[in-house]
Structure 1
Amino acid sequence: MLHCLHAHFAAPVCVGFVEEASFGKLFATDDLIDLGAGSRLPALAIARVLHAFHGRGARVAASYPTRLFSGSYAPLANRGFGHGRSIYYCHTPPRFLYDLRDHYQAHFPPWQRPLLAALRRWLQPRYEAAVRSMDVVLANSRNVQRRLQDYLGVASRVVYPPVDTDRFQWLADDGYFLSTARLEPLKRVDMLVRAFKRMPSRRLVVSSGGSELARLKALAADAPNIQFPGWLGDRQLAELIGRARATIYVPVDEDFGMSPVESMAAGKPVIGVAEGGLLETVADGKTGILLSPQFGEEDVVAAVLALDPNRAASMRAACIHRAERFSSTRFLKEIGAVLHCG
């Protein structure tokens, strides 16, 4: 999204830190303001980014008449400047403060949990005050719009994020099913691995990485039909999607979810879950199959077996048409109207 906005509006971009592996060389040096707040320790990284946006980030923001904040921590740079407009594009209120509080507490290393608790106490009132002080609040989905209303009592309008739909195309049906979700507990990729172990004649390709990689590889060690090529570059990933029969994406209450839209842009149906942002992107029975939020391995098996070559091909045109609802062109038109007119 940042690259899309920068390329269209030629505006400087201020970030908490830069990771070359994901950020690359998307921005010219003169256009990128790096606050340099990264860290390999999760709790410390959060603390450093918060401090950076609350301090130097606020000074940077004060020098511009229109300020678009995005992410969980950037809003702290909105300090009531008394001039111009402040707009917040919310991907989700920080879930470790709200609905996933217990999950994050359990998954942080024990010695970092007191720091996480202290961060919560410091961040929550400041985050809520910063969001309420925005001139305009945008949500990246109706799902996130509900969270903003439920947790903060803040009204917002929905502007779906941009997907570069032109980058994806239908290439072939090579018969495999593809997962591109990060390998983290909330993405439930372990359910897919277990399901495909019950279907040795069906292939699963897991193209991503994350904290669960070693565990999932061990789980699939006796399943030659499951492959882990790891993270791929944009071109390789687009080709992998374009040659799949379908993609599978079953996260817990996803904010929005770009992966299903990328899949549909290539004419590939999605096996998803009927909760979160997927209810807004995937049309059940038309561009994919949505499982119950309480799905089990047997439900994944049934959906995979139901998507034979003919049924997958029959959804191709509807998938491509559906994906255009979330294109970069549509996003720039909608965000431009907000920036220029309010």
Structure 2
Amino acid sequence: MTGPEKIVVVHDYFGIRGGGERVALSLAHNFGATLMFGYRTSETFEDDMFSADIRDLGLPSIFQKPGLRAAALALRFQASRHTVQKYRTRIFSGVSAPFAAPEPGSGRNIYYCHTPPRFLYDQKDHFARHVRGSPMRTRALEWFRTAYEAAFGRMDVVVANSQTVRERIRTFLGRDAAVVYPPCDIDAYKWIGQDPFYLSTARLSPLKRVDRIVDAFIRMPDKRLVVASQGDDFEMLKRRAADSPNITFLGWVGEERLRTLMGQAIATLYVPIDEDFGISPVESMAAGKPVIGVAEGGLRETILPGETGLLLDPAFGVDQLVEAVQAMTPGRALAMRSACEVRSVLFSEARFIAGMHAVVGK
């Protein structure tokens, strides 16, 4: 049921079990809100994670592919502005969802920004190298940027998910933002023990640099790596590690299995390029497991070097990653357990909801 007092949370789509998806689900649950999104796939959260009041815009699968998805979703959300306008408070999460924001004055538009679109701003050159250019694509990107910035301008309040993203917003969009860190269900992650393996949960795409993690363990046949994720590089990385029986690829796993793996690992590895925030390291710390990360992006805000993990130089190579894994012995990881668990409390769901209530209540 919609009405003047009802809140709507508008999120891009549910295609993986990522931090942005968790934010949208937490907001919808804790605010008793309608949850609107572009589409859902079988690789995301289980049905019982979703509230009864959902609005699936049903983007056809042909448009769900990278390269088409953002623009197709933007058009679908843009066409839904009249529906979103019926709600007094609207919270937008994602890159395309803000296109659904009505003009200011008829309610409040609140944008929880995970990052300004990286393919338009800070990682524009990276995406240009990986996608074939054409005059049509250039025009589409120009349209998307103009429309995104117009949607951004319709926001009454902007919230960044980290100081890293706050700086990107200032740099590329010329506006300040409040910072409310995303939620981690810290009570769901527990230290179980130490089985002889290290864990990677990052999506398998170039910006996550899981290829370097795989290459490091190819050089360390005596150490085991479990990769619990999937992505565009899945098949390529499996072929790369075909002769390394110490490396196991599980694909996406369910929530319970993920938590068990986290609780059993020696430590986790997470080394993306200038990550927005990165919920995986927080989940790892909640399970009492230190993180081998990189000193850039949101990881500088979550991991305490030498206390809850190790941070590599942003220009690290495979050699440095090998050294870090060898340094993170079971004994050293165990010694970091308490500090990890304490650190994770700063990113609890309770703190997130308190922060968002302060924003919504203004």
Alpha-carbon distance in 1 for matches of 2:65, 2:322: 38
**CA deviation string 1:19-76 (max 9, x = no partner):** 23214423345x11122224243233222211111112x1121101111111111111
Match of 1:16 among 19, 38, 44: 38
How does 1:153-302 map onto structure 2 within 5 Å? 153-302=174-323
Q: What is the aligned partner in structure 1 of residue 77 from structure 2?
A: 53
CA 1:115–1:259 in structure 2 vs 1: closer, same or farther (change >3 Å)? Answer: farther
Deviation at 1:151, TM superposition (A): 0.2
Alpha-carbon distance in 2 for matches of 1:308, 1:182: 25
CA 1:224–1:91 in structure 2 vs 1: closer, same or farther (change >3 Å)? Answer: same
Deviation at 1:164, TM superposition (A): 0.9
Alpha-carbon distance in 2 for matches of 1:34, 1:201: 47
Q: What is the aligned partner in structure 2 of residue 41 from structure 1?
A: 65
Alpha-carbon distance in 1 for matches of 2:38, 2:198: 36
Which secondary structure state, in structure 2, belongs to the residue aligned with residue 162 of structure 1? coil
CA 1:80–1:40 in structure 2 vs 1: closer, same or farther (change >3 Å)? Answer: closer
Alpha-carbon distance in 1 for matches of 2:68, 2:211: 29
Deviation at 1:116, TM superposition (A): 3.3
Match of 1:94 among 117, 121, 143: 117
Decide which structure has greater helix share. 1
**CA deviation string 1:107-152 (max 9, x = no partner):** 23x3x75443222111112211221231110000000000000000
Alpha-carbon distance in 1 for matches of 2:304, 2:329: 18
The residue type equivalent to 1:17 in the other structure is Y
**CA deviation string 1:91-110 (max 9, x = no partner):** 000011111112222223x3
Identity among equivalent pairs (%): 49
Alpha-carbon distance in 2 for matches of 1:40, 1:159: 29
Comparing 193-202 and 233-242, the one that deviates more? 193-202
Alpha-carbon distance in 1 for matches of 2:331, 2:45: 39
CA 1:240–1:19 in structure 2 vs 1: closer, same or farther (change >3 Å)? Answer: same
CA RMSD of aligned residues (A): 1.4
Which secondary structure state, in structure 2, belongs to the residue aligned with residue 22 of structure 1? coil
Q: What is the aligned partner in structure 1 of residue 18 from structure 2?
A: none
Question: What is the TM-score of this pair, normalised by structure 2?
Answer: 0.90
The residue type equivalent to 1:6 in the other structure is A
Segments of 5+ residues of structure 2 without an aligned counterpart are 1-22
CA 1:115–1:247 in structure 2 vs 1: closer, same or farther (change >3 Å)? Answer: farther
Alpha-carbon distance in 2 for matches of 1:235, 1:6: 22
**CA deviation string 1:150-207 (max 9, x = no partner):** 0000110100011111111000111211101111111111111111122111111111
Contact 1:43 1:115 in 2 (8 A): no
The residue type equivalent to 1:12 in the other structure is T
Q: What is the aligned partner in structure 1 of residue 7 from structure 2?
A: none
For these two proteins, the number of residue pairs brought into alignment is 337
